[in-house]
Each structure stands twice: as structure tokens, then as C-alpha cells.
Amino acid sequence: MLMSSRQFENIAFIASSTEESENARRKFAHRFGSAPPDHADVIVALGGDGLMLQVLHRYMNSGIPIYGMNCGSVGFLMNEFREEDLYERLLAAETTVLHPLHMKATTANGEVHEAKAINEISIYRQTAQAAKLEISIDGKSRMQELICDGVLVATPAGSTAYNLSAHGPILPIDSPLLALTPISPFRPRHWRGALLPNSAKVKISIREALKRPINAVADHTEIRSVHEVEICEDSQTNCQIMFDPDHGWAERILTEQFRY
């Protein structure tokens, strides 16, 4: 989806805390000015993937697209950093709309916590004891006992992050799927997870929760000592991320599948 020049009269620049990112922000702001992010036509994020996730969370449902340039160590969500041709790159960039996951986690004392995740929601053991989990999909128990370090549910955007490190599948960015991936499964030892429709409602019930305490993490939000976690895609919430057309997200994900 191409965007018109009228949308880029007000550009906001947000940098991570590194000296490299802050120097880049000052140079761009001197050249283009720097609008307040809440009133910008586009936000340029200067840093790594961590900064991009923070900015995407902060401006969900704002309608403001985010264009990242990599000044960090990891930059799968970012474009190549270049000081020249920024305005032209913004005009040519392609925009992808992302829908986050929604997590509802109930703790041992009955408290309910909710959070959203652009990459993944992960449930993992809090102590040396392995986790014992029951997995239900759309109200039906599909695995009554999974003994493991944990399990995660990843979006297509997050399928190349923690999910890939846990040997989960890479999903095309426009696929209507979620990846359900175990983390170091012990029993059943050879279970490698499942692909779910993005309409699926996943419930993870923790067995022996007091003996085997579990944490639940939605991107940067961590809830400790949970007894039950419900996960689904939030189709009513969206955020927009922009990529250069010669290295868009579909191309990145395809390239990642042929790395060796």
C-alpha cells in the first residue's frame, strides 16, 4: 500500500537510548523538523527491534504508520539505516497492518491481567521444576498434559523471533495462522507444536501450579505465578509498520527460510 506525500508533512523521530540512535535523531530533526509523535503523519523509529516493538505498542490504533531504521544489533523489524533519501523512502514504502494477540492471565490469587503482544505470548517455568500444561483450543482439550519448559503462541510477525529459536515454523506475514510451539518439550518428547487458524482461542491451564509456578509474557509484559492463560488474536486492534519495497516483510520472511 503506497502512501501519498500529503501524509508526510509532519514527521516524528523517536530514538533508542544509544548514542548512535540519538545522533541520528538530532540530524534528521535538524533537517526535517520533528513533530510531536501523537500528531505526526509518520513516526520514524531509530534503534533496534526492541524500540520498534515499544513504538508499535504505544501507537496501536492511532492510524500512524511506523517506519524503522536499524541503529541496533537486531533489525528484523527495521529498514536499513541511511541518512539520505528519507522522504523518498517514506513515499515508496509499503505498509503492513498487524493485529496483536490478546492475553488474559489469571494468577494464583485470582487476579486477572490483560496484555497485548505483537510477536508472541509465551508461558514458561519459573523454577527448576518442569511445567505441566493442558492445552485447549476453542473449548476442546487437545493435549491433557505437556511436560516442558513452556509453550508459546506466535503471530506471523513474531514467527521469526522466539518462535524460530524454539524451532517453530516461519509463517508468511499475510497468512491467517498462529504458531503454537513447545519450548523444550519432555513429554510427549517428539511433539513439535501446531498451526492454528488465527480465529482460534487458546487456553493454557497450569497443572500443579503451586509446585510448578509459571510466568506468562506478552512481548514486554510479564505476569508471574499464573494458573490459566487465554490467548486469541485481537482483530479490532491494529498497528502499521512500513518497509522499503525492495526488502519488505514478505521478502524478509522468505529469505529467512533459506538461511543455513
Q: In this predicted structure, what is the pLDDT of residue 252?
A: 75
Find all residues with CB under 8 Å of 251, minimum gap 6, and list them. Answer: none
Instruction: Report, as residue numbers or ranges, the catalytic residues.
Output: 49
Q: What is the mean pLDDT of residues 77-101?
A: 93
Q: In this predicted structure, what is the pLDDT of residue 7?
A: 64
What tens digit of pLDDT does each residue of 118-129 get? 999 999 999 999
Are 212 and 130 contacting, i.e. CB atoms less than 8 angstroms apart?
yes
What tens digit of pLDDT does each residue of 144-182 get? 999 999 999 999 999 989 999 999 999 988 899 999 999
Alpha-carbon 16 to chain mean position? 18
Q: In this predicted structure, what is the pLDDT of residue 260?
A: 67
Are 72 and 52 contacting, i.e. CB atoms less than 8 angstroms apart?
no
Which residues carry a binding-site annotation for NAD(+)? 49-50, 119-120, 149, 157, 160-165
Which residue ranges form the domains of the chain, and what is each CATH number? 5-98+238-256 (3.40.50.10330), 101-233 (2.60.200.30)
Q: Give the Cα separation of 59 and 233 in Å (integer).
A: 18
What tens digit of pLDDT does each residue of 196-253 get? 999 999 999 999 998 999 999 999 999 999 999 999 999 999 999 999 998 777 777 7
Are 79 and 70 contacting, i.e. CB atoms less than 8 angstroms apart?
yes
- Reply yes or no on whether the pLDDT at 6 is more than 70: no
Q: What is the mean pLDDT of residues 44-67?
A: 95
Residue 172: asked if its preceding bond is cis (omega within 30°), the reply is no
- Reply yes or no on whether the pLDDT at 3 is more than 60: no
Q: In this predicted structure, what is the pLDDT of residue 68?
A: 96
Q: In this predicted structure, what is the pLDDT of residue 8?
A: 84
- Reply yes or no on whether the pLDDT at 18 is more than 80: yes
C-alpha grid cell, residue 238: 491494529
- Reply yes or no on whether the pLDDT at 59 is more than 60: yes
Q: Is the pTM of this model over 0.85?
A: yes
